[in-house]
Structure 1
Amino acid sequence: MVTGPAPTAARRSVEEVRERVAAVPDPELPVIGLGDLGVVRSVATGADGVIEVEITPTYLGCPGMAAITSAVRDVLTACGHPDGRVRQVLSPPWTTDRITPEGRRTLLAHGIAPPVSPAPDGPVAVEVGGVPCPHCGSRATRPHSPFGPSRCQSMLWCTACREPFPHLTAL
């Protein structure tokens, strides 16, 4: 019996790598992929021909970054790019404005109130009431705890349906 080196995966295009990296679930919010969360900054081929993935943590000291980096490296290897690089980019910092509309819908569908984004160019909207409850839609909500299921979340309480819910803290 002759054995040789393990077969390598066929090299996938940058676009396919980008799609697969974007679909990697966030370790602290596994209902949303890194792409919709806005953590993936870029996926491109460097001057040396090696694919490089740039990611931005949701905040400095994010405990999920080691798991994210490892998962992205696994995608690169599975896509035939074991030499690919994963780089953390801190500037400009991540903000909740990077969450895609689909990502916001996903969070809401899973009972996590997404942060409210300000209008990009125009007057600041004045909203009556609190953050909308993901269960009943009421704005009759109030803070329950500054600590939530993960470090980037707090807990709110809906006085209408009496349900607590996590809220992704706006940065």
Structure 2
Amino acid sequence: MSSIIIQKAGIKDLETIQDVGRQTFYETFAESNSEEAMKTYLEESFSTEKVKSELNNPDSHFFIAWEEDIPVGYLKLNSGTAQTEMQDDTSLEIERIYVKQSHHGQKVGQLLYDQALATAQNLNKSYLWLGVWEENLRALQFYRKNGFEEFGTHTFRLGDDDQTDLMMKKLLD
């Protein structure tokens, strides 16, 4: 494996974010959800208008993990009113850490998480938080290993299916 470089993403990376987002979400969740629900979610969540709006939001921060000239994962962080729920000025939300299946186990997720932590510290945030599907055991193990603790739940709707996300947070020094 060649080295992975994490770079801040901007509007020029719109298609890359869309492509990596669609691929990684599909790889992670397709076997647990209907094809129709996946198709609808991917069309809505990664539409050009939606991703462009997110990339242009000063309270959202995107980073892409590159292996040479190939994008292998990405990170989306939200502060202020861009946060999906809590919208606490002292927090930073990790909305997405997505890594291509081909790069699982190669520390790409850890590098993206390290970028999230550095961003939170640079923004003087008191804690990081996120929601993770209760059945995504790989992600739960990853976040627990990195010091996150559960503090509640919320419902994530995919198609007609209500799924439970565990809410997790990590206090920062």
TM-score, normalised to structure 2, is 0.30
* Greater C-alpha radius of gyration: 1
Higher strand proportion, which one? 2
Higher helix proportion, which one? 2
TM-score, normalised to structure 1, is 0.30
